[in-house]
Amino acid sequence: MSYLVLARKWRPKRFAELVGQEHVVKALTNALDSGRVHHAFLFTGTRGVGKTTIARIFAKSLNCEQGTSAEPCGQCATCEAIDAGRFIDLLEIDAASNTGVDDVRELIDNAQYMPSRGRVKVYLIDEVHMLSKSAFNALLKTLEEPPGHVKFLLATTDPQKLPVTVLSRCLQFNLKRLDEAQIGGQIEKILAAEGIDVEPGAVRQLARAADGSLRDGLSLLDQAIAYTGAAAGAGSLQDEALATMLGTVDRTRVGELLAALQAGDGAALMREVEALADFSPDWASVLDALADALHRVQVRQLVPDCGIEGDGIDLAALAAGLRPELVQLWYQMALHGRRDLPLAPSPRAGFEMCVLRMLAFRPSDETEVAPTRESKPSRPATRSAADTARDAVQAGPPPKPAAAREPAVSRQVDGEATASDPVTAASDHSDAPRLALDAVRWVELVAGLGLRGPVKELAAHAGFVGHSGGVLRLSLPASDDHLKAPFLVQQLAEALAGPLGAAPQLRFETVETEAADTLHERAARERDARQDAAENAFLADPNVQRLMSQQGATVVPGSIRLHDDA
């Protein structure tokens, strides 16, 4: 006795049985009930969301022996033949294996003949974007003006590859990816009908692994039943077994990783990584789970009433113990670590470097004390990223030169752009000589930095306001606010590290007019002075005076230019 896979056994046979896609069902139902049925439909969407299933139900609705209706009877010979895939007037064509113009010409020739059994001859072309350009050209005329007894139902996962001429001849319906709740609900319904016990965690894992495709979810369910030996009345689908099969990580492990990061405990963090390695996980999936957990923590922090669930993670403790901006920073690190994982020496090494990066780098103005193990001495309340990284590895090389430092952490504080270098911030108390700044010395300092490009423009337009406690306050007109990009602020802070003994924390105060002298203003004054001198010298020239007095010559305003401005 042959076994019918769940995806085929539980394929919907009526519009009412479809999961999701209500917007498509409503449009098709209204068209069928009103009799205003277009001759060409295009169904787009990712794999396993119901494109060909909807097309078959639609073909059944058009040819049901009880009449055209959105509710085919499902019992007449035509409905049963379509369900079994042997209805002669429903021609399913796989464009991936029939891409040539000859295949399309055969289709066009057959379209001229009346249906053999049904009311309408239906052409279902799957993965239609795979047709060649010449095949599309041959199909266009028939697609635009087919015989009255022909309907075209096109399905594709990549509508961007379809010619615009084809898109303009079809009614297009974009099928949505299914969410985890929809897929999980259908899996629970099928398992109940099959008489198979399942743990809620196992359903969540299957729904998450399906990635928006119900067909993929049912294929994974078939695999899970075979893996666990579960069947009607024999065994059950358990959460732990599903995690082993899928190579996923227990969410409580992810929670332990975050708890170790929250405590700043490098040893505990590495122990958790070692425990994860025993399961031989897909490290990219672990980073995905870590990013998902951080997303849940952030939602709990900023929208506490949304009712988001922890899924095995203590969201309340993490949300209360982590700063929101730190959660954002870790989330970005998880995403970048996921992207860079193929470049790492090994997937595990890439994962370890990602979580160690989270351990090492924190916002430079963090003032909260991170909980530590009792065996460790207490640490100061204000911690720099360099201190945290040094504690994590217990020892390290001497501080790097300014050119090799880690990037400065740029952020927006009270409407002011600021930048601070996590390495030089740790050396604020060094004995390095510092330059006492005022408005005049600031302009001279900027002129001697040798800056180039946009960062030079930022420094030239910034006026000195004050300098104390490692914080350099600068004024910047609102018209130059575009120069305050984080990477430019970072470059300017690094350039100032040498003269000032350490990279300062830059704070910009927006002003309506220039509140202090700037290099830009000084250069403009010098240029104006040279221009005045050049004009006076030109007008004082005897030859110019003779031309003006004898010939009536005049000087065109703005025509006298300096050599360096020409």
**pLDDT, greater one: 21 or 382:** 21
Polymer length of the chain: 566
More confident position, 404 or 120: 120
In CATH, the architecture of 251-373+380-393 is Up-down Bundle (1.20)
Kindly list the strands in the beta sheet with 416-420, ordered across the sheet, starting from the edge strand earlier in the chain.
409-413, 416-420, 505-511, 471-477, 463-468
Q: Tell me if 124 sits within 8 A of 54, measured CB to CB.
A: no
Task: Please report the pLDDT score of residue 57 as a whole number.
Answer: 92
What's the rounded Cα separation, in Å, for the pair 218 and 191?
A: 10
**Residues 117, 129: Cα–Cα separation, whole Å:** 30
Question: pTM of the entire structure?
Answer: 0.57
pLDDT value at position 521? 73
User: Residue 480: enclosing H or E segment and its boundaries?
Assistant: none
Burial of 401 (C-beta count, 10 Å sphere; 0-12/13-18/19+): exposed
pLDDT score at 382: 39
Give 267 or 514, the one with higher predicted confidence.
267
531/533 Cα distance (integer angstroms): 5
Give residue 427's pLDDT.
38
Record: fold of 409-517: GMP Synthetase; Chain A, domain 3 (3.30.300)
Q: What is the rounded CA–CA span in Å between residue 493 and residue 506?
A: 7
- CB burial of 327-361 (b: ≥16 within 10 Å; e: otherwise) equals bebbbebbbebbeebeebeebbebbbbbbbbbbbb
Q: What is the pLDDT of residue 410?
A: 40
Q: What pLDDT shows up at residue 335?
A: 93
Handedness of CA 444, 446, 448, 453 (dihedral sign): negative
Residues 6+ apart with CB under 8 A from 168: none
- Residue 43: phi and psi, rounded to 5, are -110, 120
Q: Are 175 and 50 within 8 A, CB to CB? A: yes
For residue 566, name the pLDDT band (cuts at 50, 70, 90): very low
Most confident of 108-112, 350-354, 361-365, 490-494: 350-354
Where does the pLDDT of residue 35 fall: very low under 50, low under 70, confident under 90, or very high at 90 and above? confident
DSSP state of 400: P
pLDDT over threshold 80, residue 48: yes
Across the chain, what does the average pLDDT equal? 80
Res. 400: pLDDT tops 60: no
pLDDT of residue 447: 86
Whether the per-residue pLDDT at 520 is higher than 80: the answer is no
**pLDDT tens per residue, range 140-171:** 888 888 888 999 999 999 998 999 989 998 99
- How many angstroms separate the CA atoms of 143 and 162, rounded? 14
Cα–Cα distance, 113 to 525 (Å, whole number): 87
Name the burial class of residue 406, with classes exposed (0-12), middle (13-18) and buried (19+) by CB atoms within 10 angstroms of its CB. middle
DSSP-assigned states of every residue in 135-176: HHHHHHHHHHS--TTEEEEEEES-GGGS-HHHHTTSEEEEPP
Residue 418 pLDDT class (50, 70, 90 cuts):
very low
What integer pLDDT is reported at residue 362 of this predicted model? 66
User: Do the domains 180-246 and 409-517 sit in the same CATH topology, yes or no?
Assistant: no
Pick the CATH number of 180-246 from 3.90.420.10, 1.10.3720.10, 3.40.50.300, 1.10.8.60: 1.10.8.60
C-alpha dihedral sign at 337, 339, 345, 351: positive
Q: What is the pLDDT of residues 164-199, one digit of tens each?
A: 989 998 999 999 999 889 999 999 999 988 888 888
Strand partners, 154: 42, 125
Pairing relationship of beta strands 236-237 and 416-420 according to DSSP bridges: unpaired
User: How is 105-135 classified by DSSP, letter by letter?
Assistant: HHHHHHHTSPPSSSSSEEEEEETGGGS-HHH
Report the pLDDT value the prediction gives residue 434, as an integer from 0 to 100: 55
pLDDT tens-digit series, residues 86-118:
899 998 888 877 777 887 888 888 888 898 888
Residue 561 DSSP one-character state: -
What ranges do the domains of the chain cover? 6-174, 180-246, 251-373+380-393, 409-517, 521-565
Q: For residue 420, is pLDDT > 60? A: no
Residue type for position 224: A
> Which residues, at least 6 apart from 46, have a Cβ–Cβ distance to it below 8 Å?
157, 175, 177, 212, 213
Q: So what's the pLDDT on residue 414?
A: 41
pLDDT of 431 above 70: no
Domain boundaries 6-174, corresponding CATH code: 3.40.50.300
Q: Are strands 40-44 and 150-156 parallel, antiparallel or unpaired?
A: parallel
E strand or H helix that includes residue 499: helix 486-500
Among residues 410, 323, 328, 425, the alpha carbon closest in space to that of 368 is found at 323
> In terms of pLDDT, which residue wins out, 295 or 414?
295
Distances (CA, A) of 63 to 113, 224, 453: 16, 38, 70
Q: Which residue has the tokens 């000032």?
A: 500
